[in-house]
Structure 1
Amino acid sequence: MGAARRRAYSPGGNTVSAPQTPDPTGPLSRERAHLTASRSALRAMREDVQSLDIRDVTANWVNAAVLEAQIEGRIKALADLAHTPLFFGRLDYLHAVGAETAGDAEGGTGERPPPEGAYTTLYIGRRHVHDGDGDPMVIDWRAPVSQPFYRASRKDPMDVGLRRRFGYTYGDLTAYEDEHLSDPAEAATSSKLLQAEIERPRVGPMRDIVATIQPEQDEIVRSDLGGTVCVQGGPGTGKTAVGLHRVAYLLYAHRERLARTGTLVIGPNASFLHYIEQVLPSLGELEVKQSTVDALVATAVEVRGTDPAPAAVIKGDARMAEILRRAVRSHVTMPAESLVVVRGSRRWRVPAYELEEMVRQLLDRDMRYGAARDALPQRIAHSVLVRMEAAGEAPDDRVQDAVARNPAVKAVVKSVWPPVDPAKLVLRLLSDAEFLAAHAEGLLTPDEQKTILWEKPARSVRSVKWSPADAVLIDEAGDLIARTHSLGHVVLDEAQDLSPMQYRAVGRRCSTGSATILGDLAQGTTPWATGSWAEALRHLGKPDAVVEELTAGFRVPREVIAYASRLLPAISPGLAEVASVRESPGSLSVRAVPRPAPDAPDAADAADTADAPDATDLDAAVVAACVESLAHEGSTGLIAADARIPVLAEALAAAGMSYLSPGEETTADARLTLVPASLAKGLEYDYVVLDEPAAVVDGEPDERTGLRRLYVALTRAVSGLIVLHAADLPEALREG
């Protein structure tokens, strides 16, 4: 499909929007016709799958159930979402692209083989679509031939003559924009459609960025499955989206392998997971599981309690892993007596010193406790078989298995290598001072041991109010006893907030697979937040992972990120400041709410409360700022210190303003969310009203953590930020 030069959208631009009376033979009409035909082809693909009759191809009900589930998943993946563009770009190659490159590479998902022939024009979209003859009408964005859409430039056009981007309004194709990469006479300009897509108002959950992936992001997305990648990215750099799109790419490129081994996305909390949960389904990936670290490890016990920060820090320290290892191995005792195995009329004796040698050999191999326990009876049985053979018998494997199950052998194994319950082990460790001291010697000081010991020991595992940190310890103990199942790939977001023991828990889930680690050291807000990615990756068990840094910001306006970055020297010295590509003058407003005048009736009361702000005035100003923000299109987040949330909730209710809680989906009629600062991480809103920065800082156990929490809150806005304060701002944010 050829492409003529288009009239300008603005001086120097190359964007064409739909005229009031479209030309039925013009380029825009032809592109719309291709969209209509592609949707029809997708519908036909879905109908083909729906018409399959599994009764003729399955031998039993198990196969039928499996095939039926696969077909249902395929039908869902082929759904045509009305307001989601089926394709968002087009590439016109200078030379024909082979069909083997242009065809779908989903392998094993039911697609027909790629057709013969070659193509010069390809449409790039969220999934592969072919017509009745098998010719591709839309190419999956993950296919190799789609890569130039994201990476081609005038310096390296990658054999692309024309790159066309499409603009949509509620699912209707309304504009297009051309770049003639091989034409030196055409001036390079920024993409207005790309900018418009990035700045599109946020209503509802997080959406994919498949149409706006940048070259540096694409390199990370398409990195190989075999390697672990750690992405350091400041606010608005798209690290979360990059991680999710990498999962989608890996499932495309390695579908059969990951179908066997599994994938998992780990987020900081349920609200965050709810916010991102639609990204992968919008890309056709329905089988990726999501979890928080707390939910991942809390399988053996119910978490009902919390730890004071000092105790949580120690429980999350990597030294606890060695303490648990010592505690588990302490259950092994050396045999004191010989073993006698009776078989028929014969008695076979294994002396105590030989049993002890077997036990020491297993301990020296540092096997998992349960695996070594399972190996011990077989070793004993082998010793008995050696004696039987020396006596002229010819025992086989069945005899060895029978000896291993002999009651006398079982009794010895039970006494020497008893079973260990992970939860009971941790219960004893945290409630028995002598037991803890014996295994923490040289690792924890007496004061540290006292900090994690329970004041009132629990009677049983069920009666304990386990904390999240306790559940991680139980998970570690469980892995010391039996190996944790490893997945093929794990994505860990907001990783900077994990403790060393939590990193170990995640690392166990991808010990034989790979991982994508996402985070920002400047946004670490837990008392145990990691100090460096090298340290974090070592605890994760992936010390050789590649660390990539994203510094180009596409979400937060330049004025807003520059204001928030004033905090960087105090919270994360040496970390690169995000360079926002979005110029949005007037996107930041910092407003002081006046204190009561000195002659006001309540001035004396205000003085007696250490210059406390007049909460009523501040609350009214916050409500007014929310009304102002809601006058714009898109979502508004009111972020405040956790302690201020009830007060602001009352103020909003008194003003007749309804609001959502984090995790609830915004709609056209419900666009205001009241967000505790502790839950703001990872979320984004078109407009943010930030209440009392000093209160956000004071709500944390120390100033540095408080400033990091404030940095997070300041960087949640996509279009505009209003900061309201009655108390003094933190020093780094003050003018001058």
Structure 2
Amino acid sequence: MSTRDHQDELRSERDYVAGLYARLDAERARVQRERTAALRGRGGTAVERDVEVRALAREAERLDVADNGLCFGRLDTASGDRAYIGRIGLFDEDDEYEPVLLDWRAPASRPFYTATGANPENMHRRRQFHTRGRRVLDFTDEVFGRPGGDERGDAALLAAVDAPRGAGMRDIVATIQAEQDAIIRLDHPGVVVIEGGPGTGKTVVALHRVAYLLYTQRERMERHGVLVVGPNPAFLDHIGRVLPSLGESEVVFRTTGDLVPGLRVTAEDSPAAARLKGSLRILDVLAAAIADRQRLPEHPQPIELRDVVVRIDAETAEWAREEARASGLPHNEARAVFTEIVTYVLTERAIARIGRGWLTRDDREAWEQLRADLLVELAEHDAFTAALDRLWPVLTPEALLAGLYESPERLRAAGTGEVLLRADGAAWTVSDVPLLDELVDLLGRAEPADRTAEREREAEAGYAAGVLEILNVERHDLMDDEDHLLAQDLLHAEDLAERFVERDTRDLADRAAADRDWTYRHVVVDEAQELSEMDWRVLMRRCPSRSFTVVGDLAQRRSAAGATAWGAMLDRYVPGRWAYRSLSVNYRTPAEIMAVAAALLAEFAPGVRPPESVRACGVEPWSRHVTEGALPAAVEEFVRDEAGRDGTSVVIGPPDVPGAVPASRTKGLEFDAVLVVEPGRILADGPSGAAELYVALTRATQRLGVVHRDPLPPVLRGLATGARPG
């Protein structure tokens, strides 16, 4: 194409995209008019208007996020047809709703990501736009089948990966590659495991897969939403913009420490404690801890009634305990069975003593009347209630677990020794979260939830009945005519009670995050190699349909309780229903830096193949040996120099290095420049040290430096030494 033809084509494309933005603006204006009308209460019931307002709000969000990079490409078929590809779909209302812009998730858009010179999929050309805001700056063409044609669209891809990093992860909707697209659109109803080394885009692929599932299965998924689980808050902040940028907002972002609403993690476990808490063996410990609180009296417990003294002895309590345990009910709900047996024995004994000489079972009416009186007396008897509380107490997960951790005797009884012993039992760790969640089901509620709801409903109806009574009295006082309608004739108390119930107007994400029993239609688990067996039990409870996208890299595992093989974690829950996919291309880490990281990987995980970098940056990684006193100055120099550049930077090192963050806090993140301080100390920090250093070395997209006082680990001695490259 000549320069003049290119400019003419560019003007034509700019006009077309400008027309798309005009349609976008018209759609925005329409949605705003309809939202205003709905908020003003024109037509329909309040509930119908509320549903309409929420739907229009979601539509407005979808249109807003499409403003930046609305259209990013065009497909030309071999027969001469063309289609424009973008963030959302737009239609021509004057032409039988013909699409003028295809949503990137639509089936017709797939060749934009998958067509190659070897397999053009009946496509002639793929055109990718380079845009800024609403303006098309230029375009790049691939003509399939042309000799020397670039079948991967490297111009747009390399421009994206070379661009300076901002505050958060960007979507890749304009530059999805074929191996990524195959995973995004994979039609698999169970668990999809995406494994890939650093920089392969596994996280962003998982998020685009969520956007695709919401697009293709919106009715099934939208009402319950999607849960995204990440390793730490910084990571969730980093990825949090991706799905909203794709028009999806019904998503809850949480760390594993946030999965029990209201719980605050303040402490950290030893590796031994984390390993035990993360294993399924802890289930036996929890069961033993509960059983330990279901006790028998050492001495008969006297209960002084009005006419007789009865005693709860060990034999009675043991029978009641066996029956309660055999019921299969959670501990707190099984207390009713325990209480029923004990009450039965005590009333039988009391009746026999009170009625000795004059009452027999043949006198059924008198016998039952006496039993009824005794039941009322026992129900209101403080000593009887106190005895039940000692033998079968109502327990909360927090109280049970904290009491276990603080008691060497209870820990020994549960078979753990003292590995879990700590002074403050309620100083919760991340590993405690799945245990507390498990105990919610093992203990149950103090009374069934439906009965609690029924009582609340009765209270609301009673309050409403009182309001109606007041209205009737006031109306009667004001009227002389006795022949009038009462308020009850027009409105029942139950109907009025509905009006006092405050409707939950929170967004789905807020409601789901606050509700421990909320279940999701799909769950994304990032850095999944760090999750323990107990963590997986929590997540499986959150998603009964077992629809997951699991993202991880076993070579980066640092948790003592984490996964060593995917099947070991998943076969228990989804045997035969999980699919494995791998990503092999590194889009983040340049070849110069990946060569350093690959040498380390070969030492601690020789069977793992490092991902292949798509580019070189032209800057060699470097190292500098400094004296102890010069280390702070070297770190400050790096920070100062990087502050004058575009993009982001980070210092990674041991906790005692000022200004440094541990490698574990950078997992899943990326920076233009990285300074690793004291790699030898990172490597030597326990069994996970090599994985920690591997993470640290693979965060940089452009520049990597190493500063050290201690000797450099042999695996890093190939780094260029001396002054930092400019």
Instruction: Name the TM-score, length of structure 1 as normaliser.
Output: 0.72
| Residue in 2 that maps onto 1:10 | none
1:307-366 CA-to-partner distances (Å, cap 9, x unmatched) read 3333233222221123223444666789x9xxxxxxxxxxxxxx9999999757643xxx
Pick the aligned partner of 2:197 from 228, 234, 243: 234
Indicate the larger mover: 243-252 or 317-326. Answer: 317-326
Kept after mapping to 2: 8 A contact 1:262/1:487: yes
Matching residue's letter, 2:651: L
The equivalent residue for 2:55 is: 70
- Deviation, structure 1 residue 157: 2.0
Who is 2:74 aligned against? 90
Q: CA RMSD in A?
A: 3.7
Residue matched to 2:281: 319
| Residue 733 (str. 1) matches residue 724 (str. 2) | no
Partner of 1:685: 671
**CA shift for structure 1 position 684:** 0.6
CA deviation after TM superposition for structure 1 residue 591, in Å: 2.4
Q: CA deviation at 1:691?
A: 2.5
- Relative distance call for 1:543 and 1:615 in structure 2 (3 A) is farther
Whole-Å separation in 2 of the counterparts to 1:126 and 1:622: 42
| Per-residue deviation, 1:720 | 2.1
| 1:514 equivalent in alignment to 2:543 | no
CA positional deviation for 1:231: 1.4
Aligned to 2:566: 533
2:256–2:433 contact (8 Å) kept in structure 1: no
Q: Which amino acid aligns with 1:90?
A: R
SS at match of 1:711: helix
Alpha-carbon deviation of 1:71?
Answer: 1.6
Aligned 8 A contact 1:273 1:290 in 2: yes
Aligned partners of 1:124, 1:153: CA distance in 2, in Å? 17
In structure 2, relative to structure 1, the CA distance for the partners of 1:358 and 1:623 (3 Å cut) is: closer
- Distance (Å, rounded) in 2 between the aligned partners of 1:159 and 1:57: 51
Structure 2: gaps of 5 or more residues: 301-315, 342-374, 445-515, 720-726
**Mapped pair 1:36 → 2:18:** yes
Structure 2 vs 1, CA of residues 409 and 577 (structure 1 numbering), >3 Å: closer, same or farther?
farther
Is the 2:221–2:522 contact (alpha carbons within 8 Å) kept by the matching residues of 1?
yes
Residues 227, 251 of structure 2: 8 Å contact kept: yes
Alignment of 1:639-658 (within 5 A): 639-644=652-657, 646=658, 649=659
Residue matched to 1:603? none
Q: How does 1:337-352 map to 2 (within 5 A)?
A: none
Structure 1 residues 301 and 718: alpha-carbon distance in aligned structure 2, compared to 1, 3 A threshold: closer
CA displacement at 1:417 relative to structure 2? 7.7
Give the one of 138, 143, 146 matched to 1:180: 143
Measured in 2, the distance between the counterparts of 1:49 and 1:572 equals 55
- What count of residue pairs does the alignment treat as equivalent? 591
SS at match of 1:79: helix
**1:277 Cα offset (Å):** 1.0
- Is residue 421 of structure 1 aligned with residue 375 of structure 2? no
TM-score normalised over the length of structure 2: 0.73
The 8 Å contact of residues 116 and 151 in structure 2, kept in 1 or not, is answered as no
Write the distance in 2 (CA, Å) between the matches of 1:543 and 1:376: 42
What are the within-5 Å matches in structure 2 for residues 177-326 of structure 1?
Answer: 177-181=140-144, 183=145, 185=147, 187-188=149-150, 190-191=152-153, 192-224=155-187, 226-297=189-260, 299=261, 301-326=263-288
- Cα distance per residue 1:88-110 (max 9 Å; x no partner): 111122359xxxxxxxxxxxxxx
Query: Displacement of 1:635 after TM fit?
Result: 2.2
- 1:638 to 2:651 alignment: yes
Is the alpha carbon distance of 1:589 and 1:626 closer, same or farther for their aligned partners in structure 2, counting shifts above 3 Å? farther
> Which stretch of structure 1 is more off in the superposition, 278-287 or 56-65?
56-65
Which of 446, 451, 469 aligns to 2:419? It is 451
Quote the residue 2:89 is aligned against. 128
Change (3 A) 1:407 1:137: farther
CA distance in 2: counterparts of 1:200 and 1:185, whole angstroms: 29
Deviation at 1:557, TM superposition (A): 0.6
Give, as a single letter, the amino acid of the residue that structure 2 aligns with 1:61: A
SS at match of 1:260: coil
Measure the CA separation in 1 of the matches of 2:377 and 2:63.
59
Residue in 2 aligned with 1:708? 691
Residue type of the partner of 1:33?
Answer: D
Shift of 1:457: 6.9
* 1:45 partner amino acid: E
Aligned amino acid, residue 624 of structure 2: A
Q: 1:430/1:279 Cα in 2 relative to 1: closer, same or farther (>3 Å)?
A: same
In structure 1, the residue corresponding to 2:110 is in which secondary structure? helix
Question: Alignment partner of 2:78: what SS?
Answer: strand
1:466–1:633: structure 2 CA closer, same or farther, 3 Å change rule? closer
Deviations 1:550-593 (A, max 9, x none): 12111111121121111113333312211112133x33322223
Q: Say whether the 8 Å CA contact 2:230–2:236 is kept in structure 1.
A: yes
2: CA distance, partners of 1:473 / 1:694 = 36
Distance 1:511 1:57, change over 3 A: same
1:587 and 2:619 matched: yes
Supply the distance in 2 between the matched residues of 1:722 and 1:369 (Cα, whole angstroms): 57
Note the residue ranges of structure 1 that are not aligned, 5 or more in a row: 1-5, 8-18, 97-119, 337-350, 380-404, 459-463, 594-612, 650-673
Work out which of the residue numbers 51, 59, 62 in structure 1 matches 2:33. Answer: 51
Q: Which amino acid aligns with 1:32?
A: R
Higher helix share: 2
- Which residue in the other structure is 1:487 paired with? 520
Q: Distance between the aligned counterparts of 2:588 and 2:558, measured in 1?
A: 22
Which amino acid in 2 is paired with 1:431?
A: E
| Alignment partner of 1:475 is 2:437 | yes
1:430/1:124 CA distance change after superposition, 3 Å: same
Q: Quick one: distance in 2 between partners of 1:235 and 1:687?
A: 15
State the distance in 2 between where 1:732 and 1:547 align.
31
Aligned partners of 2:339, 2:91: CA distance in 1, in Å?
60
Aligned to 1:61: 46
Counterpart Cα distance in 2 of 1:258 and 1:91: 30
Q: Distance in 2 between matches of 1:321 and 1:540?
A: 16
1:174 alignment partner AA: L
Structure 1 residue identity aligned to 2:10: L
Query: Contact conserved, 1:198 with 1:212, CA < 8 A, in 2?
Result: no
Amino acid at match of 1:128: G
Which sits farther off after the overlay, 680-689 or 302-311?
302-311
Distance 1:286 1:353, change over 3 A: closer
CA contact (8 A) 1:377 1:409 kept: no
Deviations 1:682-702 (A, max 9, x none): 11112222233224334x3x1
Counterpart Cα distance in 1 of 2:557 and 2:120 = 40
1:575 alignment partner, SS class:
coil
Deviations 1:643-676 (A, max 9, x none): 11x2xx4xxxxxxxxxxxxxxxxxxxxxxxx644
Q: 1:326 to 1:257 in 2, by over 3 A?
A: farther
- Sequence identity percentage: 36
